Chain A
């Protein structure tokens, strides 16, 4: 089966799409991503600006009219939701096939040891 050409999404792209399930402007996206990822992923301004441009071009997000006239507000599109869903399924599959043979507990112990 042919895989969608945009899969897998990068971690940055995945989090931006996830954050844009609700309308947000640039800085709000940065804050949301930080919160959603438990401060594991921080996107710098230049990187975010480029990512937004790419996502707009791919039509995964769109520009909508917001209250703040100077800051552009974005929202995920149907196409964006679809690709996010596909990546979720891809990861769910990976989790399923890994959890069985590897088991859940040793993984937890491993992270504790490595901390």
Chain B
């Protein structure tokens, strides 16, 4: 079973949701494309999410084994996926994969940095695309220029509408596709700031406790 549910930040919501799914008999199998579940016997279990990437396979295996030794089975995530999912397998183990607020905050910092580096990539692409002269300001002001069918505007009636509607998606694509990159950049920056705020919140919590 596959479910598409977007979690823009990695706070406890996703962990709680995965625990509820396990209670209904679905265990997370992979997160490569949406959340993919396999059927299991319903169980009450704690799920925790870490954020880490690895240089090589050895480092990844070592990481998974350390968690498994400590009572946390790695259920989803790959060397490069960043998000790593664990479920508790030892009853008497601690109920979190972090034992202090500072290291828990570090997870949000790594997450925030990942979004920021993606945002920088897209920002560079946006700038080069825009400065490369792919945007025709004229066509922004006069969308008629985006339609390339010869003699389209002289036609009338059903013939006009048929051709006009046929070309509209293409014209839209031609005129506004460049907007996509700045929009994606903004979304990444937003995600990064959100994770950064979670990081600051955790850091503060560690200073007062």
Contact = CB atoms under 8 A, between A and B. Distances in A.
Interface of A: 12, 25-27, 30, 42-51, 70-72
Contact of B62 (A26, A30, A44, A46): A26
B100 A47 contact: yes
Contact of A12 (B48, B58, B100, B106): B100
Nearest to B59: A72
Contact of B96 (A25, A30, A44, A49): A44
Contacts, number: 60
Q: Is the interface of A mostly helix, strand, loop or mixed?
A: helix
Interface in B63-106: 63, 65-67, 69-70, 72, 94, 96-100, 103-104, 106
Nearest to A46: B97
B66 A26 contact: yes
Interface residues of B, number: 23
Interface of B: 48, 50, 52, 58, 61-63, 65-67, 69-70, 72, 94, 96-100, 103-104, 106-107
B103 A50 contact: yes
Contact of B70 (A44, A50, A70, A71): A44
27 contacts: A12-B99, A26-B62, A26-B65, A26-B69, A26-B70, A27-B66, A27-B70, A42-B94, A44-B94, A44-B97, A44-B98, A45-B67, A45-B69, A45-B70, A45-B97, A46-B50, A46-B96, A46-B97, A46-B98, A47-B99, A47-B103, A48-B70, A49-B63, A50-B103, A70-B65, A71-B65, A71-B66
A25 B103 CA distance: 20
A70 B72 contact: no
Given A26-B65, A45-B72, 15 more contacts: A12-B99, A26-B66, A27-B69, A30-B69, A44-B70, A46-B50, A46-B67, A46-B97, A46-B98, A46-B104, A47-B103, A47-B104, A49-B52, A51-B103, A70-B62
